Each structure stands twice: as structure tokens, then as C-alpha cells.
Structure 1
Amino acid sequence: MTDGMTWLAAPRSIAYGGYSVVMARGLTPQELVARLAENVHGPEHAAVPVGDLTGAELLALLVDHEDIGLRHGRSGDWSYAVAYGGWPGEFGGRPPLSRGGVDICHLEFEEENGKPVPPQFAHTRDGVLLSAFNLHLDGSWGYDGVDGEPGAASRLQAELTAASLPADEGTDDDADDREVHRTALGVLERHFGLSLPREEIVSGTLPAVLLEPV
């Protein structure tokens, strides 16, 4: 592992519109992609391989705003899939990604949402939410500590507290939010042993698929 997770806090770190990254411990990248295809709301979808592509090349294949593509790989113990296109609100169907004792960490940020929506993190196993919080630790979005299974949530909360989070309430400056975001990502990196290869994701090629209705 080399690049960690904190680089995700940079503006448009992966693509315009934000990021959606799913990381899985206990699945190969291909198995993770297959489960994500099953997890799309609406009609049944399948993952259609389109070769090794850059993010820009995959985006060029997405014709309609609701089209979704994934690029995938592995970093340390974790497989990962990065979503492109019309991913906001499109995942979360059944069966759960984390069935069979798989650990799933989902990081998502609708960066261009005008509300604005803070970045989100959730860790599940066997369909059970173990820990979740917004990465701006923003009380206006319901942050009141880490949600989830009490033991797992309290351990993660202790690490956030040790990192001097949450920051002072009442700050709404973008730079302050980015720093909280970056610091929270660093806590997750250390707590779960997460890392994403920045160069491969931002400018390199990775195996890519389109999620298409069957």
C-alpha cells in the first residue's frame, strides 16, 4: 500500500461530480464487480467488460446520464471498484454486498450536489452496519457520533476523537471541510488498513466494465 486514502479529499479527486468507491475484503475484484451489478436498483444488470481504460475513456462510453461504469483493482487485502457516471442513489438493492462474512467499506461524495451533501462512509459485514458517519462530521446532517454496532462504532469514534475530530462547530468554510474530510480519511486508512493507488485511478488504466440492463 502506498497512496493511502487522504488524496480523495482533493477537489474532483477522481472525476467531476465526486467519488463512489467500494472496497471489499474477502472478494476478488471481479467478484466485487459482480455483486455491485446485482446491487443496482431497478431491472437486473450485468457487468460487461470493456477492456483496460482510463477514467476519461470509460466516461466517454457512458452515453446517457444514468449510465454507470466501474473500474476495479486490488490494493493490499482490499479489492476496490470506482464508479463513474450516474451512480448517485443507484446502489443499495438486494442481496447485500457484504453477505458471507465479507467486509465492505463504501466511501461516497456527491461533490457537485447543490445542497451540499457531505461525503459519507459506511462499513458493513453480513448485511449489518458496523460503523458509518459523514466525513465532514457535520451536525447539520445528523452527525452525533459514529453510528452502527456499539463496539465497532465506539472504537472508530475514539480514533476520530484522538485526531481532534469533530472540528469546531459552526465552520462552513470549504477549506475547513476539506481538512476535516482529509483527516477523517486518514483515520479510516489507519483503522481499516485502506489504501487506493492514486496514479492508477487518476491517470492510469484499470479493468473496466459497463453496468447494463440484462
Structure 2
Amino acid sequence: MADGIQWLMDLDRWDTDIMFARGIPPAELATRMGAAPGSALPPITEADVWEAAPGTSQPHGADSAGLIRVGRSGDWSFAVEYGDCEGSRRVDEVSRDGVEAVHLAAQPDHPPKVFTYGYGGKPLCSFGIGEESWRWGERPELLVAELTAAGVLEPGGSESALRDDVPHQERDRRTLAVVETYFGLSLPWELVIVGRLPAYALRRDTDHFGR
């Protein structure tokens, strides 16, 4: 598999959110997401996460807001989220002080998947993957030209250009391809799925962390 992000669509079940950040190292990304500074756990695999807490949505105990595994690929640090990490609500914190943030929310139980881009402490553009004509944020038109060129949106961006009979997986892949190319995102499959990455448990009350 390639090291971009489109391989997420080939998983039997893509059910973990992913945060990308450009401008800070992985350890700082973990802190901004709610980890205590310097609290890295030994590197673990994805299988290790779930084996530590079978049958629960909280992979690191009841007092934790979840757990992340962090790494770096190209210009971007990344965090793979497990449990109630609430990454979609952390885009403002992750992107403060001139940092760029891209968040992909898998939402397996409440589709659609959601893309969010933040910069300078503000979410600038968000939309459902598969519902790209409905966008919000301070710059909702950010990717309209690219999505139009990819055949996802009609010119103007207010209507989908994809036929109803196009498989959902193919529809979503086209949008992920646009996001991957526009931001230069890379997520090494072997490292994320079978490799070992440093892990951090996130604390529940994270409103002031990283400040």
C-alpha cells in the first residue's frame, strides 16, 4: 500500500480519527491534544492498544480521555486516536501559534466522515466526506477548485458532481486524494497498522493544556 492517506479506504473498518499538524513535533502535538508533557509511554502497536483494554471504548482506563499513538511523516506530525480523544474539538488548540492542523474524523457509527482544516487557532474549513457541497468555517471554499477538478463537485461547489450509483468507497477516495495532494499528507501504512509508535494517555480536562 502507498504511504498517502487513501489506503484508509481499503481498511475493513476505518474507525480511528487522525490528527495531522505541520509546524510542531509529535511530542508537542500530543501535549496540545491533552497529554501531560513528557508522559510518553513505550512504543506500541495498534493491536497492543486494544489488547490492553478488550471490550471497551476507553483503551487506557476510565480516568483517561483515550490514547493516541504519534509519529511523523514528511512535514507533518500525526496522532492516531483511540477512545474519546475528541480530536475534532482540539483543532483550535493544535493549530494555535501558526501551526496547521488537518483532522479526519472516521465517525463509523455516525457517518459521514468529516474533514477539518485549522490554522492560527481557528477551524477554517470543514465538510463531510461524501457531503462536500455542505461546508462550514471561515474559509469554506478552500478546496472547492480542487474538488471540482477531481469531479467531486460541480463548478461553484454547491452541488455534487458524482452520480448516485458511484460506490461510496470510490466517492470518499476521490476526496481523500484531494486532501492528500493539497496538503501533502502521508501516513505510512506499515508504521501505523503494524509498527510501534510512542503512545500518550490523554487527560479528560484539557481546556488549558499546552497554554
On whether the aligned pair clears a TM of 0.5, the verdict is yes
Counterparts in 2 of 1:136 and 1:206: CA distance versus 1, 3 Å: same
TM-score normalised over the length of structure 1: 0.77
- Tell whether 2:115 aligns with 1:126: no
Counterparts in 2 of 1:167 and 1:65: CA distance versus 1, 3 Å: same
Partner of 1:84: 82
Partner of 1:149: 138
SS of the residue aligned with 1:52? strand
Structure 1: 5+ residue stretches without partners: 39-44, 138-142
Equivalent position to 1:73, from 71, 74, 82? 71
Using the TM superposition, name which of 55-64 and 74-83 deviates more.
55-64
Q: How many residues align?
A: 190
Counterparts in 2 of 1:56 and 1:47: CA distance versus 1, 3 Å: farther
Find the aligned partners of 2:77 and 2:138 in 1 and give their Cα distance.
24
Partner of 1:9: 9
Query: For residues 175-186 of structure 1, what are the structure 2 equivalents within 5 Å?
Result: 176-186=167-177
Find the aligned partners of 1:100 and 1:133 in 2 and give their Cα distance.
24
Equivalent position to 2:32, from 32, 35, 58? 35
Once the two structures are aligned, what percentage of the paired residues are identical? 33
Q: Is the 8 A contact 2:70 2:77 kept in 1?
A: yes
Q: Is the 8 A contact 1:146 1:157 kept in 2?
A: no
Q: Is the 8 A contact 2:68 2:82 kept in 1?
A: yes
Find the aligned partners of 2:30 and 2:144 in 1 and give their Cα distance.
30
Residue by residue over 1:172-205, the C-alpha shift from the partner in whole angstroms, topping out at 9 and shown as x without a partner, is xxx7111111111100011011110011101111
Aligned-residue offset at 1:7: 0.6
Counterparts in 2 of 1:58 and 1:46: CA distance versus 1, 3 Å: farther
TM-score normalised over the length of structure 2: 0.78
Coordinate RMSD, CA, aligned:
2.6
Structure 2: 5+ residue stretches without partners: 61-65, 153-159, 206-211
Equivalent position to 1:97, from 76, 94, 98? 94
Residue by residue over 1:60-118, the C-alpha shift from the partner in whole angstroms, topping out at 9 and shown as x without a partner, is 2236533411111001100000011344x57526972211011000001122x1xx411
- Tell whether 2:146 aligns with 1:159: yes
Q: Is the 8 A contact 2:87 2:103 kept in 1?
A: no
Partner of 1:57: 48
Find the aligned partners of 1:158 and 1:145 in 2 and give their Cα distance.
15
Partner of 2:63: none
Q: Is the 8 A contact 1:6 1:185 kept in 2?
A: yes
Find the aligned partners of 1:91 and 1:156 in 2 and give their Cα distance.
19
Q: Is the 8 A contact 1:98 1:104 kept in 2?
A: yes
SS of the residue aligned with 1:110? coil
Partner of 1:21: 18
Partner of 1:140: none
Q: Is the 8 A contact 2:92 2:118 kept in 1?
A: no
